[in-house]
A and B are shown apart, each in its own frame.
Chain A
Amino acid sequence: MSVRGPRLEFAVGAFLLLALASLLVLALASTNGKFGFGQATYPLTARFTNLGQLRPNAPVKIGGVTIGNVAAIQLDPVKLDAVVTLAIDDRYQDLPADTSAGILTGGLLGESYIGLQPGGDPEPLKPGEEIAFTTPAVDLIQMVGKYMFGGGKPAADSGEQDSGDATGADATVPPSPTE
């Protein structure tokens, strides 16, 4: 049963090498690679009336490219809306001051993320500044309910509905208190 000397050491060395190699491959191929070596980021804040399913560490994307993540989510005790702190990668400086932020979902069952739409303002957002234009998360069940029980009204009936922008009008209606 017991193996002597050099053969034993070779066997143990091979075992260790195999295990460490598989550890490395697993770390690279099956995790999200956030090794957390203090990547340089700067903070921005944004206020939302409804976060939907947004969680900390959710990605922040511009046009589908991830530029940062959600660092913290807090409730403002005075105004009672959600204050989200975004950690934006230092490589993406000088976002325009009229950038708008919205909470989008990757697919029907996907995770929520924050999508930024840059505007055209030559003034940049400084670290720590608040994003002025935000759109809250869309609640699918509410929308379905609205269309099922109150939809199909002609545009002339209620003055607030625009001809082609039904989604925009829905988004400005405040969420119902039953949530």
Chain B
Amino acid sequence: MPFVAATRSLGRAGLFSLSVLRASTPTRDFFAELVREIYKIGARSLPIIAVGGAFVGLSVTLLGYRALETYGASNQISALVGLGLYRELAPVLTALLFIGRAGSSIAAELGLMRATDQITALGLMAIDPVAKAVAPRFWAALISVPLLTALFCSLAISASYFEAVHVIGIEAGSFWQVLKDAVDFRHDFCVAFVKAAVFGGTAALVASYVGYHAEPTIEGTSVATTRAVVNASLLVLMFNFVLSAFLFQG
């Protein structure tokens, strides 16, 4: 029965997530692995996040300007860009770009470790494979995604400033002042990074679960990679709606 099977696999995923949290012990090896993972999935995602952020900022500015010009409110463009970025676009787009780049690599690495029996070997040596392979990736993602979101936002706002002030002709002072008046520190700015942390953790858990439990064949690894990206992206979009509904009540 597909419903029973789906519920069981959801339960397995939940238990896996719990075991990842339990296996996270702050030893020296753990920190060495953590630093390596932050480099691989965080620092090396920088180019795609930066370029993506810049172009999203440019597009939203142009689109928003055309819409606001009708009402003569074109100097509110920075409020539109700032609020749209912090509330929705930055956490979601950063998470989706991250899933595409780092989520697929996590799933592929773990799938390959499973296919080449490295996970079994770790188990035979009485090393918890979840603690050694999965937990550093989870915490690296939890740390990296909010930081990548910050870089996404800063590039998007800089690109928006460039477009609005130097191309469209909005006054520079009013650009920053309208932006500062519109964005609330706690309800917009901090919420963006809470969302980003949730999305990063979700992406890492989904990718790790799918990779860790992949079929130990080449086909299994490739299936795991695509499943990781699809499932993680869908979960991020669903959680985005849930978080927005709860957090933005004003």
State the CA gap A56–B249 with chains docked (Å).
13
B165 within 8 A of A: no
B20 within 8 A of A: no
B39 in contact with A31 (CB, 8 Å): no
Q: A15 and B42 in contact (CB under 8 A), knowing A25-B154, A26-B189? A: yes
B180 in contact with A32 (CB, 8 Å): yes
Return the CB mask of A19-39 against B: 1 if under 8 Å, else 0. 110110111011111111000
Among A8, A14, A16, A31, the one with the most B-chain Cβ atoms within 10 Å of its Cβ is A31
User: Assuming A26-B189, A32-B182, what are 16 further A-B pairs, CB within 8 angstroms?
Assistant: A8-B36, A12-B35, A14-B43, A15-B43, A20-B147, A23-B150, A26-B157, A29-B180, A30-B176, A30-B180, A31-B183, A31-B185, A31-B188, A32-B181, A57-B184, A109-B73
Give the total number of A-B pairs whose CB atoms are below 8 A apart: 82
Within 8 A of A (CB), among B21-59: 35-36, 38-40, 42-43, 46
Within 8 A of B (CB), among A16-73: 16, 18-20, 22-23, 25-27, 29-36, 56-57
| Interface of B: prevailing SS | helix
A143 within 8 A of B: no
B185 in contact with A22 (CB, 8 Å): no
B248 within 8 A of A: no
- B: residues with CB less than 8 A from A are 35-36, 38-40, 42-43, 46, 71-73, 76, 82, 147-148, 150-151, 153-154, 157, 176, 179-186, 188-189, 193, 250
Looking across the interface, which residue of chain A has its beta carbon closest to that of B39? A12
